[in-house]
Amino acid sequence: MDIAVGLKAIEPGLQDYYQLPPETLDERIAGVKAKLSDRLLILGHNYQRDEVYKFADYKGDSLKLSQYAAQQTDREYIVFCGVKFMAETADILTTSDQKVILPDLAAGCSMADMADIENVETTWQEITSLIPESRITPITYINSSADLKAFCGEHGGLVCTSTNAEKIIRWAFDRREKILFFPDQHLGRNTCRRMGISLDEMILWDPAQPNGGNSAEAIRKARVLLWAGFCSVHQMFQPEHLAYFRKQVPDIKIIVHPECSMEVADSADLMGSTEYIIRTITAAPAGSRWAVGTELNLVNRLKRDNPDKEVFFLSPMVCMCSTMFRIDAPHLLWSLERLESGSIVNQIIVPEADRYWAKVALERMLELA
């Protein structure tokens, strides 16, 4: 199997698990699952590597997984095979009796890390020194930490996903005239343009610069303030990749995630969330050809699951979620066997103050959905 981390970085007690052959890892994971039985729920994100994904009891995107976990109130242990912000969302939505575990605490999200609470609070102070707070709504993409979700909840804002971003933004504009959208600029820009909002009405906010690198006049004029964050995976897709497939593959259809750049989104035939991409290709006619602009593990799975179609990865470069990739079979087995022995490792606990306001922001979104 592919060892994803150096041994010196492995948690105490985990090193021996990396010496186990894949078949032993599989047997022991299956054995612990059987022993813990209905006390355990393993969740697998769409981008998760196959060696872990195959053991998931439920699979999907981050919000779908958290919502499902919240419905399974009889499951004591929720092992979330994803990244930290996803496990935080699950902890917010589940009961206090349920324990959410992330097999590797190093499984974060580079996009989520591009916006932290200190910078967001500083940004809010700068904006509201020029614009009354009653005129602007903060919206955070679900790919963000719990304290940022809490910030939005406390300031009249809410959370969005790549599926419902347009609905959320329309809700915000019905109430206030401006939005601050973070951390992903591309989802915000692509969604707003699809709604008919022009680039002239948007500004990019760089938190490293005073006033985000914008003049006071530009801030007062803008309807949409986009945080200068991005997904390192989807950022790698380029317009020339689409041009190549259109030239080389007759009748190709190109479908991309809205975290891709505006230039890529504009050149694609279709754009949507991971669930949308999966549904679209699964329902497509046999013999159809697809180039897909999203994470590599998901695209490879689409290839295997749709042998009657031709499915291509849109980029010539490897574009996988490296932080999601940290969750591997040794980490999964280690965390499960610790549970079996009565010891909980890597439990995700959102502080109560953040939990309250983050749940407010999430519930505002869920009410709209």
Structural domain count, the chain: 3
- On whether both 208 and 119 belong to a single domain, the answer is yes
Rounded Cα–Cα distance for residues 333 and 338 (Å): 8
Asked which of 2-6, 18-22, 152-156, 266-270 is least confident by mean pLDDT, the reply is: 2-6
Q: What is the mean pLDDT of residues 38-67?
A: 92
Q: Is 1 inside any structural domain? A: no
Q: What is the pLDDT of residue 5?
A: 38
pLDDT for residue 135: 97
pLDDT for residue 1 is more than 50: no
Residue 151 falls within a domain, yes or no? yes
Model confidence over 249-302: pLDDT tens digits?
999 999 999 999 999 999 999 999 999 999 999 999 999 999 999 999 899 999
Based on the fold, state whether residues 170 and 240 are members of the same structural domain: no
What CATH number is given to the structural domain containing 185? Answer: 3.40.50
Q: Does residue 287 or residue 315 have the better pLDDT?
A: 287
CB atoms within 10 A of CB 266: 13
Q: Is the pLDDT of residue 229 over 50?
A: yes
Instruction: Note whether 65 and 79 are same-domain residues.
Output: yes
Residue-averaged pLDDT of the chain: 93
Task: Find tokens 């995630």 and name the residue.
Answer: 257
Q: Are 119 and 223 in a shared domain?
A: yes
Q: Is 364 domain-assigned?
A: no
- C-alpha triplet 306, 279, 52: angle, nearest 5°: 70
pLDDT value at residue 3: 35
pLDDT score of 318: 67
Query: Is residue 281 located within the same domain as residue 309?
Result: yes
Q: What's the whole-number mean pLDDT along residues 149-161? A: 97
| Mean pLDDT, rounded, for 66-77 | 94
Task: Quote the pTM value.
Answer: 0.91
Top pLDDT among 16 and 281 is at 281
Q: Contacts from 17-21 at CB under 8 Å and sequence distance 24+?
A: 17/330, 17/331, 17/333, 17/334, 18/330, 20/330, 20/333
Is residue 18 assigned to a domain?
Answer: yes
Q: What is the residue range of 246's domain?
A: 234-313
- Is 366 part of any domain? no
Instruction: State the CATH number of the domain containing residue 102.
Output: 3.40.50.10800
CA distance 207 to 182: 11
Asked whether residue 45 is assigned to any structural domain, the reply reads: yes
- Please report, for residues 75, 170, 215, 343, the alpha-carbon distance to residue 103 in angstroms, rounded to integers and kept in the order given: 17, 37, 45, 13
- Domain final position from 206, 231, 256: 231
State whether 166 and 245 are in the same domain.
no
288 belongs to a structural domain: yes
What percent of the chain is modeled with pLDDT above 90? 85
- For the record, the structure tokens of 291 come out as 């180039």
Residue 280 and residue 254 share a domain: yes
Axis-axis angle for helices 165-175, 352-368 (nearest 10)? 100
Q: Say yes or no: 226 and 238 in one domain.
A: no
Residue 2 has pLDDT above 50, yes or no: no
Over the stretch 344-357, which tens digit does the pLDDT of each residue have? 999 999 999 999 99
- Give the pLDDT confidence score for residue 226 in this predicted structure: 98
Residues 100 and 141 reside in one and the same domain: no
- Domain finish residue from 181, 204, 231: 231
Looking at the structure, tell me whether residues 210 and 240 fall in a common domain.
Answer: no
What is the average per-residue pLDDT within 328-348? 95
Instruction: Say if 334 falls within a structural domain.
Output: yes
What's the rounded mean pLDDT across residues 156-164?
96
**CA gap 284, 287 in Å, rounded:** 9
